[in-house]
Amino acid sequence: MNVVCNKPSFTINLNGDVVALTPPLVMGILNVTPDSFYAGSRCNTEAAVISRAREIVEQGGAIIDIGAYSSRPQAEDVPEEEEMNRLSRALSLIRSVYPDVYISIDTFRAEVARRCVEEFGVTMINDISGGELDDKMFETVASLGVPYILMHMRGTPRTMQEYTNYGDIIADLLMYFSEKTDKLRLMGVNDIIIDPGFGFSKTLDDNYLLMNGLSEFQVLGFPVLAGISRKSMIYKLLGTSPEESLNGTTVLNTLALLGGADILRVHDVKEAVETVIEATNGTDERLIYEGADLIYHMIVLLASKGYRIEDLARELQERHSSTWKKH
């Protein structure tokens, strides 16, 4: 993995505040959905919404990211009116307790984005579709003048895993982001954050190729967000579940930071804040400690399937052969 040594210093405008992304920021996830992939993120009562918002703020999260439309694979469609109703209830509650907290809205719908900014003072828009699912999104973001998280995904949450054919995934995504950011800049959008979209239209191998090449996105000249928290790229590799994926998340968040990530989008805010501190001010020993956790879990999984670490090493060696083909 390439480690970013001389990382550029970015700032973003959050509700009129010029906020530095050095050290990286932590964005806490708050879902007002009944079906998000990680049950621990679901907040479906008033008390749960307020409690989760308080937890994010008190544990050091800089931004609350609220989602009302599950983007897990094969997720069911949510009508726009229902999405907006869920968001309105959550935003009203949070603003009553934290009137000035920075809030991001996870939506691909331009009208939902507009209403959330104009009615509730939302700080930024987090669009998993990169404008592909609503052709009015770019012009809406430009008119609102808020930061925009531009994520890569093919298809929809329901169909995205059908579109995982890439020539060179890093080169393909660099081209995608280059074209999209050029268009956004011409429309007057100044604060753009790049999100490679771990787990969206990506195979397990694709996700780790992205992680290994995360530093390549520095060439675009925009901040990078990494959303890895408790995703299948962790628990499928380890043969566990989202509920058992905190250690793996911590390791990959550390790697993302070393690869140049400026924002971590997470379920576990306290642990992510500690990871930022360790990655930016910590020791090599701590990094080795966290990496050992992930390798330990992988060895346990291999053993349970009758394999040894040598089998994994042999596979990696074969990948350097000109005759190797992806399974």
Spatial contact of 157 and 72, defined as CB atoms under 8 Å apart: yes
Per-residue pLDDT tens for 158-209? 888 888 999 999 999 999 999 999 999 999 999 999 999 999 999 988 998 9
Neighbour-count burial of 241, counting CB atoms closer than 10 A to its CB (0-12 exposed, 13-18 middle, 19+ buried): middle
Phi and psi of 58, rounded to 5°? -70, -25
Sign for the CA dihedral angle at 316, 320, 325, 326 comes to: positive
In this structure, the dihedral spanned by the alpha carbons of residues 254, 229, 57 and 287, taken in order and rounded to 10 degrees, is: -20
- pLDDT value at residue 235: 76
Residue 49: C-alpha distances to residues 25, 58, 86 (Å): 21, 14, 11
CA-nearest of 141, 151, 90 to 111 is 141
Residue 282: C-alpha distances to residues 269, 278, 297 (Å): 18, 4, 23
Strands 11-14 and 17-20: antiparallel
3-state secondary structure 196-214: CCCCCCCCHHHHHHHHHCH
* Residue of higher predicted confidence among 142 and 6: 142
Q: What is the mean pLDDT of the chain?
A: 87
- pLDDT value at residue 168: 93
Residue of 265, 270, 286, 314 marked catalytic:
265
- Angle between helix 269-281 and 246-258 (nearest 10): 40
- pLDDT value at residue 73: 66
Per-residue pLDDT tens for 241-288? 777 778 788 888 988 998 999 999 999 999 999 989 887 775 667 666
Segment 122-142 shows an average pLDDT of 97
- pLDDT value at residue 326: 56
Spatial contact of 273 and 24, defined as CB atoms under 8 Å apart: no
The residues facing 103 across adjacent strands are 64
Cα 291 from Cα 273, distance rounded (Å)? 17
| pLDDT at residue 238 greater than cutoff 90 | no
Among this protein's residues, is 231 annotated catalytic?
A: yes
Cβ neighbors of 110 (< 8 A, separation 6 or more) are 134, 136, 137, 139, 140
Lowest mean pLDDT among 32-36, 158-162, 193-197, 318-322: 318-322
| pLDDT at residue 35 greater than cutoff 70 | no
Phi and psi of 149, rounded to 5°? -90, 115
The band of 9, judged by pLDDT with boundaries at 50, 70 and 90, is: confident
Cα 146 from Cα 157, distance rounded (Å)? 25
Segment 233-242 shows an average pLDDT of 77
Q: What percent of the chain clears pLDDT 70, i.e. is strictly above it? A: 85
* Distance of alpha carbon 141 from the chain centroid: 19
Spatial contact of 105 and 116, defined as CB atoms under 8 Å apart: yes
The band of 125, judged by pLDDT with boundaries at 50, 70 and 90, is: very high
- Angle between helix 246-258 and 284-304 (nearest 10): 130
Neighbour-count burial of 99, counting CB atoms closer than 10 A to its CB (0-12 exposed, 13-18 middle, 19+ buried): exposed
| pLDDT at residue 12 greater than cutoff 60 | yes
- pLDDT value at residue 98: 96
* Residue of higher predicted confidence among 239 and 52: 52
Helices (H) and strands (E) in the chain, counts: 11, 10
- pLDDT value at residue 287: 61
* Residue of higher predicted confidence among 100 and 281: 100
The arrangement of strands across the sheet holding 25-31 comes to 192-195, 148-151, 124-127, 102-106, 63-67, 25-31, 263-266, 225-226
- pLDDT value at residue 103: 98
Lowest mean pLDDT among 36-45, 228-237, 303-312: 36-45
Q: What percent of the chain clears pLDDT 90, i.e. is strictly above it? A: 61
| pLDDT at residue 311 greater than cutoff 90 | no
The pair of three-digit structure tokens given for residue 32, joined into one six-digit string: 């007002």
- pLDDT value at residue 301: 62
Residue of 7, 231, 270, 326 marked catalytic:
231
Segment 70-97 shows an average pLDDT of 88
User: What structural domains does the chain harbor?
Assistant: 11-280 (3.20.20.20), 283-321 (no CATH)
